[in-house]
Each structure stands twice: as C-alpha cells, then as structure tokens.
A and B are shown apart, each in its own frame.
Chain A
Amino acid sequence: MADNLILRVMSKALIPVIILFALYVQFHGDYSPGGGFQAGVIFSSAILLYVMVFGLDAAAKVLPDKALIFTASFGVLLYAGTGVVSLFLGGQYLNYSLLANTAMAGQHIGIIVIELGVGLTVASVMLLIFFTFARRTRVE
C-alpha cells in the first residue's frame, strides 16, 4: 500500500499523534482514564498502521524481534521485581507503601512502575504476535 498517496500522507500525520496519545494514556493514567493495558494496545495499533502502509521491513528495522522479546520479558520482570523489592524492604509482596518515605508516595511510585511494566509487555507482545503473523503471509 506504500504507493497510495492519501494513505501515506494520512498515516504519517496520524501515527505520531497516536503514539503521543499512547504515552499520555500511559503516564497520565493515574488521573484520567488509562493505564498500562490501554497504552500498550494503543501504541501497538500505531505501529500496526505503519506496518500496513509502509511494509514490515521498514518497521522491523526500528523494532527488531530480539528487542521486542527483550522488552516483553523486561516488563514482566519489572512488575515481579517491584514485588521483590518491597519484600526486601520488609513488607509483603507487591506492597508499595515501603518504596518511599511516606506510604502515599510509595504507592504512587509503585503504581507508575508496574503500569510501565504492563505497558511494555502488552505493547511488545501484541507487536510480536502481529509481526509473526505478517511474516507468514510472505512467499512460501
């Protein structure tokens, strides 16, 4: 579809906005609707649009499979690791209150960190799944 002018111009205009929105949803998720799951799927839908218009090779240059596998595992690790950190600080698993001086600040840090982990995992797993399917559509 890379030769369709309307698609190319429109998607070039839309993709940065979608990615910006995904980041807003990720980091402003405490105050407005949003969070890691939503941001992850919105981000991956932006890349999906890019792949459908400009082709898989162009996207794979920016996001190689190895990097995606790394970020997917890193997200889960970040989430589980936050729990382990709070264990070492003397609390229960995933009790964020001990991550900072006051319970409130600790909760806030914990929520932001684990939402980041969720976002990373969801976005990279969705992209991995899509890339794997898209590779299959090529010449046998």
Chain B
Amino acid sequence: MIEYILGHINYWIIIVLMMIGLYTMMSRPNLIKKMVGLSVFQTGVILLYISMAKVTGGTAPIVAEGFTTYSNPLPQVLMLTAIVVGVATTALGFALIVRIKEAYGTIEEDELEMMDNEE
C-alpha cells in the first residue's frame, strides 16, 4: 500500500496541478488569465509525460561508459518539441488578444459577449 502511494503520488499532484490550470482557464473571464491557465495546464501535461520517462537508478539518456540504465528518451523528445511549439502557439494567442483589445477595447470575456449581443 505504502509502495503504491509513493509510486503514484507524483502523478496525483501533477493531475491536481493540471486541474488548477483548467479551472483558471474556464472560470476567469480575463483572456490573459485564460492563457496563463492554459500554459499551467500544458506544463502539467508535459510533467506527466516526463515523469513517465523516469527510471529508478537511471541517468539522463546520453550513452556513456559506466552506465547501463537510462531514462526513456522518447517522451523527452516529444515533450521537448511540445514546449517550443507551445510557446509559439501561445504567442499566437497573445497576438489575437492584442487585436481583440484594439477592436473591442476590453479583454474581459463577459463584456465582449455583451458587446456582440448588442449589435
């Protein structure tokens, strides 16, 4: 039982982290705050994958003499590219926010909705 908890507590905390990000994204009307929530959520997903790659007693996956166990390189590769792609798409989101602010004068979602309904 204690082994099960120690082996899984890492995943549980990461899932709570992801859910805080998701809640930030869903409940706050401010668009910038939503983007930050999305980034927190995204980092949570990346963390989940990286912790799946961990092998006890292993080292970083760089082949060298004197080591036989390495952590799994595959999730690391996928998440490495995901981080860079993530920041590029986040930048696109920020660019959209800037344009929304110019067009509507606000970045609060409920005010945007009200303005759209008035028209």
Given A125-B88, A129-B88, A32 contacting B62 (CB threshold 8 A): yes
B100 at the interface (CB under 8 A from A): no
Q: Determine the chain A residues whose CB is within 8 A of the CB of B81 once the complex forms.
A: 37
In Å, the complex CA distance between A131 and B40 comes to: 25
What's the tally of chain B residues with a CB closer than 8 Å to chain A?
A: 12
Q: Which residue of B lies closest to A37 (CB)?
A: B84
Interface assignment of B91: CB less than 8 Å from any CB of chain A: yes
- Convert B62-98 into 0s and 1s, putting 1 for each residue whose CB lies closer than 8 angstroms to a CB of A: 1000000000000000001101100110010011001
- Verify if B115 is at the interface (C-beta below 8 Å from A): no
Most A CB atoms within 10 A — which of B84, B88, B91?
B84
Instruction: Answer yes or no: A84 CB below 8 A from chain B CBs.
Output: no
CA distance A122 to B95 in the complex (A): 18
Query: Does B60 make an interface contact (CB < 8 A)?
Result: yes
Chain B binding surface, main DSSP class: helix
Q: Mark A5-29, 1 if CB is under 8 A from B, else 0.
A: 0000000000000000000000000
Point out the residues of chain A lying under 8 angstroms from B94, CB to CB. Answer: 133
Residues of A within 8 A of B87 (CB): 41, 126
Q: Size range of the interface on A? A: 10 to 19
Main secondary structure of the interface of A (DSSP, over half): helix
In whole angstroms, what is the CA distance A67 to B62 when docked? 35
- Residues of chain A within 8 A of B95, CB atoms compared: 132-133
**CB under 8 Å from chain B, chain A span 9-59:** 31-33, 35, 37-38, 40-41
Flag if A33 contacts B88 (CB, 8 Å): no
Instruction: Give me the interface of B with A, judged by CB distance under 8 Å.
Output: 60, 62, 80-81, 83-84, 87-88, 91, 94-95, 98
- 6 interchain residue pairs of minimum CB distance: A129-B91, A37-B84, A37-B80, A122-B84, A136-B98, A37-B81
